[in-house]
Chains A and B, each alone.
Chain A
Amino acid sequence: DSGVTQTPKHLITATGQRVTLRCSPRSGDLSVYWYQQSLDQGLQFLIQYYNGEERAKGNILERFSAQQFPDLHSELNLSSLELGDSALYFCASSVAGGRQFGETQYFGPGTRLLVL
């Protein structure tokens, strides 16, 4: 158990809908990262928040947004869903900003999203 929790574990929805994925980092970790694992793109970084502020952005679609709340949990919002958004979404956390030598990212169990 990494200490990172994600809800829900599974989500089935229809095209055009909007969903929210939730992540709670390990106790004491300030950074939260979101990654997407799809069959054709592999594991890709979406976005990072550090202590409530956006720190780094990857190939995140404009239809997707995220935030980190004062209690450090994070939510990833996916809207106007398309079939191609079906994927495993992972949240990870680390103790600091992510650039320290040897800083480890701990991954949650993931949310499996299926868009029909």
Chain B
Amino acid sequence: GIQVEQSPPDLILQEGANSTLRCNFSDSVNNLQWFHQNPWGQLINLFYIPSGTKQNGRLSATTVATERYSLLYISSSQTTDSGVYFCAVLNTGTASKLTFGTGTRLQVTL
């Protein structure tokens, strides 16, 4: 099946810093979603972005489908950004399940 790798696995930032999270996938995809799992376990949809660039406030994401990667940018990080960020992909032409990466654990400190 499709492989999804995320980097870095762990990230510690000071409040106000910027960061880039990366997601590599091994096959063509119909969809790609970025999630934030907060410390209470909730999975929050950030972006659905099979290709192109989207922005939502301090967050933006870019997917280059032809090169099989996606990037999530967090600017001016806040302590509420802490948690785990997951990338999940829907493989083209196969079952409709989302395959998740192992996540990037982000801690934003004061």
Contact = CB atoms under 8 A, between A and B. Distances in A.
Interface residues of B, number: 22
A18 interface: no
Contacts of B30: 99-103
A58 B43 CA distance: 20
Interface string B17-55: 000000000000011010100000111010010100000
- The binding surface of chain A is classed by DSSP as strand
Category for how many chain A residues contact B: 20 to 34
A52 interface: no
17 contacts: A31-B96, A42-B102, A43-B100, A56-B96, A58-B95, A88-B41, A94-B96, A98-B90, A99-B90, A101-B30, A101-B50, A102-B30, A103-B31, A104-B33, A105-B98, A109-B41, A110-B43
Interface of A: 2, 31, 33, 35, 42-45, 48, 55-56, 58, 88, 90, 92, 94, 97-107, 109-110, 112
Given A98-B90, A109-B41, 5 more contacts: A35-B98, A44-B100, A90-B43, A103-B90, A107-B43
